[in-house]
Structure 1
Amino acid sequence: MTLFSGRQLLTSALEDFENQLRVETSLVASTLHEPIEKYLDQGLTEAEVLDAVTALESKTGMNIRVLRADGSIWLGGEADDNVQQFVNAAEVRAALNDLIIYDSRKVDGDPVLFSAASILDGDKIVGIAHLSAPSTAAEAAVRQRWVALGLTFLALTLAALFVSLYLSASLTRPMRSLQTAALSIADGDLTQRVNITRDDEIGDVGRAFNRMAEHVEQMMLEQRAFASNASHELRTPLTTMRLRVERLRSGTLDQEKVVRYSAEIEQELIRLTNLIEDLRTLSRADSNRLEIGSERVDAKRLATAVLHELASLRGERQITVTVQAQDTLPVQANMSHLRLVFRNLLENALKYTPVGGTITWSLTRENGEMISQVVDSGMGVSAEDLPNLFQRFYRVDKARNRRVAGSGLGLSLVQAVVEKYAGRVSISSDGIGHGTTTTVYWPVEQHIKSPPQLKTASHVSQKSFVPLGNV
């Protein structure tokens, strides 16, 4: 690229010098027109015209001669000038035709540039201004251009080096900060973040890193809380069983207490088994090993079964449960998964609804989804607790001696299973004392048809309900 630029520069410098020579020749001819005209009118002497020629030589730095129309030397020049060399010179012949060109010839072995222009008196040529300059002048012009090119190239190189160093530093500094933060997180400092001061791609990487770090920190906090809560929930039934076993082994209990303690141990074993099964289901969901079922499940019939399973809890608390469902509600699911969702939602409502309260459970189908909504008249949920209800082991009643039994995993399980089926679950409440509404949206495969023994959905309006029972 530099060599190409140098060749272009050489060509440009020579052209500039040639143009300058032609311009100088034209100016010299114009300048000498007046003194020569006066000389011809005998207003000036030959010596005075020669002085004008000498002054122009000093001004232009070139050798100037004034030739006659026949090409012979009239004024100026060196004493040893060969007169004949100008008679047939190309620049002289061009000047006689009112043209200005330049020619290059060797004089005493050295290249010299020549140019000539006619001096006119009206239409008559009264003389020829003839200029010559050694080619060293052109070479000097080329050298000047080369020096300018070199300085420009050097300046550009230095600028490019400075810019590359600046860009390199601007890239490596944030990368080093990211590296330091990443190593700190690897060493256990999960609070480490990078300071972001730019809005380019590097800034985007920094923001992504901070989001990742926040996510990792949150995951670790949740994991620690999960381990702490799980150990407590596992320790509670184990402690109860150990105490009961110690009393039984003492041999000092009467038959009534033996029976009661045995029943309590059995209940704690059931509770422990259910807790382990819940944790196992959550683990499978977290590791994406919870397989989606392909069974055709009758949601209405399943709801009836769940209602009967919890009949004893309803009876103890004297709670009225009204279940409303469309006549036909087949959905694609694993029976145990949908049962888990239904049972947890209804059991949750029964536990948190006071004695004598009411629960309404509706099952509808809209826009390709089965919508299960449980509305209770229970204690309700405060606005600050609502966003946390799906956290594992989260309890609105945070005391260790809770009034309501449970592990705090029910809603987490419901959310994990529902989202596995591309559904969603939401909870709303108007506050403490105003009850709670839990809604599940479960996708329904459109190609699933009702079994022959059931009425099809076309026989019942989508908004119609068939009461399953009032208890």
Structure 2
Amino acid sequence: MTIIEFSLFFVLYTNISNYQIDEVLDGLLSRGGSHRDVLEKKFDEATLNHVALMESEAITDVVITDEQGNILSSSSSIDSFHRELIQEYRTSPKYKGIIVEEQWKTSPYVATLSPIMINGELQGNVYMFSPSSIIRDLTTHLSRQFIFVMVLILVVTMIVVFTLSKLVTKPLIRMKEETEKLSNGETNVELSEHYNDELGVLARSINRLAEDLERMKQERNDFLSSIAHELRTPLTYLKGYADIASREQTSEENRRKYLEIIKEETESLTTMIQQLFQLAKMDENTFAIQPESCKVKPLILDAKQKLYPLIKTHVAEVRIDCPEELEVYADPIRFKQVIMNLLDNALRYSGRHPSVWIQVQKLHMKVLITIRDEGPGVPEESIPYLFDRLFRLDKSRSRNSGGTGLGLAIVKEIVEIHGGKVEAKNQNGLCIQVSWPKEGSL
């Protein structure tokens, strides 16, 4: 800003000073032209004396010569500068008035020449002289004014710049400090959002970031705590039953019973670890799917067949209502995984002899898959958390009455990766609806 201001002041000063100098020179030339006009009308001794008398009281001087350069009249005494200039300039081009000396910085005078033409013939010249000190005083005065104004504006500019810089950098420094706290793991960040500009937007973004980091930190801690709890329980069973089975006094029948329990817990642990691995891949965006056009009903029937042992154990009824030719755009393996997880959830938690209804409907751009059971449903306040990882309605659920708490979370991730949506609601039991893209709409 200082460089710009200095440049502008220099240009402005140069233009104004040149204008003032040109005005002085043009005024001197115009004054000489006026005397020349008077003398062209009456070129006699009385007029010569009258012109000289007019300039005698002015700061400027006039010298009138004949065509040979002889001095006819002057308003003041003639010095060597006057004589040298008169001898050097006796005529002007095309007999027009000209400026014959304009070096006001080094010469004592600036001068003009106005030829006296009578009947087309040169009769003499009018020389006008003005002390160069007039122009020097003018430029000096102008320079002082410009310096004063320039210093004043420079000071004001510095004050404004430093004030604005302080106002701007203060919240930025504050934001820098808070972001450093975020990088060190501290999430108790609170920045003022009252700015109605980009700083306000940035402050709000940092506050939202701090809130998200705090939420993610809490979710991570809860998740790790839940995982530790979920792993501790089956490991305790494994260790306990292994100790009992290894005792010599344990009967062969009890040993087989305990080994079967150990096998079940091992399978449960394997399932949980596989599900955790799948969720980790989803979080890292490395969970690959290979979608293709596939018919819905065969995939659902295949998923039902894989769960036949569970259906038989619960003496359950599974009804399927699906058009034969209806297709979706999905990875067949992941689609069956979704159906199996939802069906498994419905069979386990809808009471004795459960009845589950799978209905598939064709919508405009989607396929709506509804899995409804006739169980007790879930509390309304728990529905928003139903698809959260490790969420369970019964926090103390035993190994015989519950799964890993990851199945519905995996369902949600797979459906959303395919561009679909899953939601739950109570409707004479728990009803889960999956909105899946049709062919070519993914």
Give me the whole-angstrom Cα distance separating, in 1, the residues matched to 2:101 and 2:298. Answer: 113
SS in 2 for 1:250: coil
Letter of the structure 2 residue corresponding to residue 190 of structure 1: T
Residue 156 in structure 1 maps to residue 153 in structure 2 = yes
Q: Give the alignment partner of residue 174 of structure 2, picking from 173, 177, 180.
A: 177
Find the counterpart in structure 2 of residue 207 from structure 1: 204
- Supply the RMSD in Å over aligned alpha carbons: 4.9
CA deviation profile, 1:92-145 (whole Å, cap 9, x unmatched): xxxxxxxx9999899xx84277999xxxxxxxxxxxxxx986442333222222
Letter of the structure 2 residue corresponding to residue 386 of structure 1: I
Letter of the structure 1 residue corresponding to residue 12 of structure 2: S
Letter of the structure 2 residue corresponding to residue 144 of structure 1: H
CA deviation profile, 1:331-384 (whole Å, cap 9, x unmatched): 454443222111111111222323355432112344454432112233333443
Offset, 1:255: 4.5
Offset, 1:239: 0.9
Offset, 1:294: 5.0
Offset, 1:155: 3.0
Query: Are the aligned partners of 1:105 and 1:113 in contact in 2 as well (CA < 8 Å)?
Result: yes
SS in 1 for 2:17: helix
Find the counterpart in structure 2 of residue 415 from structure 1: 412
Offset, 1:387: 2.3
CA deviation profile, 1:129-167 (whole Å, cap 9, x unmatched): xx9864423332222222222223323333443344344
Return the TM-score normalized by structure 2. 0.71
Counting aligned pairs with the same residue, the percent is: 25
Find the counterpart in structure 2 of residue 454 from structure 1: none
SS in 2 for 1:440: strand
CA deviation profile, 1:233-290 (whole Å, cap 9, x unmatched): 1111111122212222233444443333232222212211111111111122222222
Give me the whole-angstrom Cα distance separating, in 2, the residues matched to 1:78 and 1:307. Answer: 127
Letter of the structure 2 residue corresponding to residue 416 of structure 1: E
User: Which residues in structure 2 correspond to 1:71-470 (within 5 Å)?
Assistant: 110-111=108-109, 134-294=131-291, 297-355=294-352, 357-367=354-364, 369-399=366-396, 404-420=401-417, 422-430=418-426, 434-446=428-440
Find the counterpart in structure 1 of residue 90 from structure 2: none
Return the TM-score normalized by structure 1. 0.67
Query: Are the aligned partners of 2:109 and 2:129 in contact in 1 as well (CA < 8 Å)?
Result: no
Number of residue pairs aligned between Structure 1 and Structure 2 = 404
| Structure 1: runs of 5+ lacking an equivalent | 26-52, 66-71, 89-99, 117-130, 448-471
Give me the whole-angstrom Cα distance separating, in 1, the residues matched to 2:306 and 2:110. Answer: 119
- CA gap of 1:294–1:428, structure 2 versus 1, over 3 A, is closer
Give me the whole-angstrom Cα distance separating, in 1, the residues matched to 2:163 and 2:31. Answer: 49
Query: Are the aligned partners of 1:427 and 1:436 in contact in 2 as well (CA < 8 Å)?
Result: no
Query: Are the aligned partners of 1:21 and 1:115 in contact in 2 as well (CA < 8 Å)?
Result: no
Give me the whole-angstrom Cα distance separating, in 1, the residues matched to 2:268 and 2:364. Answer: 39
Letter of the structure 2 residue corresponding to residue 11 of structure 1: N
User: Which residues in structure 2 correspond to 1:8-27 (within 5 Å)?
Assistant: 8-17=15-24
Give me the whole-angstrom Cα distance separating, in 1, the residues matched to 2:224 and 2:177. Answer: 30
Query: Are the aligned partners of 1:390 and 1:411 in contact in 2 as well (CA < 8 Å)?
Result: yes
- CA gap of 1:79–1:7, structure 2 versus 1, over 3 A, is closer
- CA gap of 1:175–1:286, structure 2 versus 1, over 3 A, is same
- CA gap of 1:105–1:288, structure 2 versus 1, over 3 A, is closer
SS in 2 for 1:384: helix
Find the counterpart in structure 2 of residue 35 from structure 1: none
| Structure 2: runs of 5+ lacking an equivalent | 1-6, 33-53, 63-71, 87-96, 115-127
Give me the whole-angstrom Cα distance separating, in 2, the residues matched to 1:222 and 1:439. Answer: 26
Give me the whole-angstrom Cα distance separating, in 2, the residues matched to 1:379 and 1:20. Answer: 108
Give me the whole-angstrom Cα distance separating, in 2, the residues matched to 1:334 and 1:174. Answer: 50
Give me the whole-angstrom Cα distance separating, in 1, the residues matched to 2:434 and 2:420. Answer: 6
